[in-house]
Amino acid sequence: MTDEPRAVPRGPLMSPGFWLHHAALEWRATLERNLRPLGLTPTQFNLLASAGWLSRQGELPTQQQVADMSGSDRMMASKVLRVLEERGLLARRADAGDARVLRIELSAAGRELVSKGVQTAVDTDQQMFGADAELLREHLKPIAAHRIPG
């Protein structure tokens, strides 16, 4: 046993985690409302935007890379990407070196929709965080950094 005093529970309203959780829920609900006119859910948008962002690195990203970047698990990403493929927004192709690996390529319609979605996300961030967006981002980056693929 240590002689160090233990923190006394002060209730959830004193927890930054409590407020972060509820702020994230509100942000997601607002983003969902704002993406609805584009016919996208936040998950669909995150996967499309991640594929678009990763493809800027010069090589078509794998389905796993897109899932990792978006924060989706493998099965969810596969199901959602299949729906997006059926909508003509992307193509999934077997990798030339390993047929088990799928490469993701956005179609012209997918790239156009991502562009509109990114503007919607930027507008949502401005709506929710205003002038505090940069400060908030800098506080959250080190917390979330271990989850973002390097």
The domains found in the chain, sorted by start residue, are 39-147 (1.10.10.10)
Cα radius of gyration (the chain): 19
Amino acid of residue 111: R
Q: Is the dihedral of CA 82, 87, 58, 56 positive or negative?
A: negative
What is the per-residue pLDDT across 111-120, written as a single tens digit (0 to 9) for each? 999 999 999 9
Kindly state the average pLDDT of the residues 135-142. Answer: 92
Confidence class of residue 13 from pLDDT cuts 50, 70 and 90? confident
Main-chain phi, psi angles of 136, to 5 degrees: -65, -45
pLDDT given for residue 4 in this prediction: 72
Residue 106 has pLDDT above 80, yes or no: yes
CB atoms within 10 A of CB 88: 11
Nearest to 149 by CA among 52, 46, 63, 65: 65
What is the per-residue pLDDT across 26-50, written as a single tens digit (0 to 9) for each? 999 999 999 999 999 999 999 999 9
Kindly state the average pLDDT of the residues 16-21. Answer: 90
Q: Which residue has the tokens 């002689």?
A: 3
